[in-house]
Copies of this chain bind each other. A is one copy, B any other.
Amino acid sequence: MKITTKKERFLNPLYLESGRIIEPYEITYETYGEMNEEKSNIIVVTHALTGSFHVAGRYADEPKAGWWDKLIGPNKAIDTNKYFVICSSVIGSCTGSTGPISPMYPSHEPYRFKFPVVTIKDMVKAQRILFDKLGINKVKAIIGGSMGGMQALQFAVSFPNFAQIVIPMACTWATKDWAIAFNKVAMESIIRDSNFKGGYYDIEEYKKSDAHGFAVGRMAGFISYLSPYSMDKKFSRGYVNNDGLYELFGKYQIERYLDYNGYNFPKWFDPLSYLYLMKAINIFDVSRGYDSLSEAIKEIKAKVYLISFDKDFLFFADEMRELHECFKSINKECFYENIKSDYGHDAFLVEVEKFDNLIVDILEGKV
């Protein structure tokens, strides 16, 4: 599979929903496979909170493949022998596109809290500008899960003529208080950590600290990405060792899982980006600027395929059902499937085998 990673720099300002601007800005993107002459085989992938442009394949020195490698590649559901796949890092992230740790113009100091709040709509707009620069004005499909699903849905509303097919997965149409509450715990935990020092002006020092506030905040996130069912299956109240029962800080396997993944997270992700992306998720509402959700949906020209996971404890299947009902209420075609999975929210990343055939059928026009 041909993997190409590129960075584009834009000198014109990016006008944000808030009225603020970012200029200049950069977007890093990766492509897989070959674009055909008619440009009819392009599939856009949009990434989640901690995702990046690197969605598939494995670099020479890399221990782990891209985050959706199970779904995308030669002879996989999104077959890169057939399709040209493109994914870019969102504005606000710390993975190659302009975000809060990028240098500000002209001082070259990192933005930190001077970075403007960006929205899902802003992320989508920046991608649309990137595609324009690449000569892409129409794509076969856009697919993404979680924050990526929000982007897919927003794409369909903001740019009705851009995609034929849109597949928002494991997401909502407007973030509910339940998800905002989890983000609140993470945000509060990050900013109150004494190591963070109001924006960690010494990045190296912060990275050397254990960044416990960030780690604890991420643990709250992990709870919402799993489910009571997947935890039961995975951990079953297991102890790491039998000595733990009467020790105050005994180590249940679930506790070790949260420790390991929580404290590992600050090593590879930036807390400022995390704050900004959580904020973007919190304020996501695809109906903002419209009188109602149905008014927003009326804009859509793409065929929309909604996919939820029945044990998603972050963005509940009921929220996707609400959106589906809204399509039906205005007699607008919309396919909806609720995938059976115990895994929880992260099923869209982890249990690809539960829905990859469905993706094939959607792309081949069989559903």
In the complex, what residues of B have CB within 8 A of residue A120's CB?
none
State whether the Cβ of A268 lies closer than 8 Å to any Cβ in chain B.
no
Given the complex of chains A and B, what is the CA–CA distance between A221 and B316 in angstroms?
A: 20
In the complex, what residues of B have CB within 8 A of residue A247's CB?
117
Q: Which of A200-253 contact B (CB under 8 A)?
A: 212-213, 215-216, 219-220, 222-223, 226-228, 231-232, 234-237, 245-250, 252-253
Query: Distance in Å from the Cβ of A265 to the closest Cβ of chain B?
Result: 13
- Give the nearest-CB partner of A272 in chain B: B248
Query: Distance in Å from the Cβ of A325 to the closest Cβ of chain B?
Result: 16
Instruction: Give chain A's interface secondary structure class.
Output: helix
From B250, B282, B283, give the contact of A279 (CB < 8 A): B250
- Number of this chain's copies in the assembly equals 2
From B174, B223, B227, B276, give the contact of A185 (CB < 8 A): B223
Given the complex of chains A and B, what is the CA–CA distance between A174 and B252 in angstroms?
A: 14
From B19, B20, B182, give the contact of A223 (CB < 8 A): B182
Are the CB atoms of A178 and B248 closer together than 8 Å?
no
- 12 A-B pairs besides A191-B249, A192-B213, A248-B275 with CB distance below 8 A are A177-B231, A177-B234, A177-B236, A177-B254, A180-B252, A181-B219, A184-B254, A185-B219, A188-B258, A216-B216, A248-B276, A250-B279
Chain A positions within 8 Å of B, measured between CB atoms, are 17-20, 113, 116-117, 174-178, 180-182, 184-185, 187-189, 191-192, 194, 212-213, 215-216, 219-220, 222-223, 226-228, 231-232, 234-237, 245-250, 252-255, 258-259, 262, 275-276, 279, 282-283, 285, 316
Nearest 5 pairs between A and B by C-beta? A18-B246, A177-B231, A178-B228, A192-B212, A177-B254
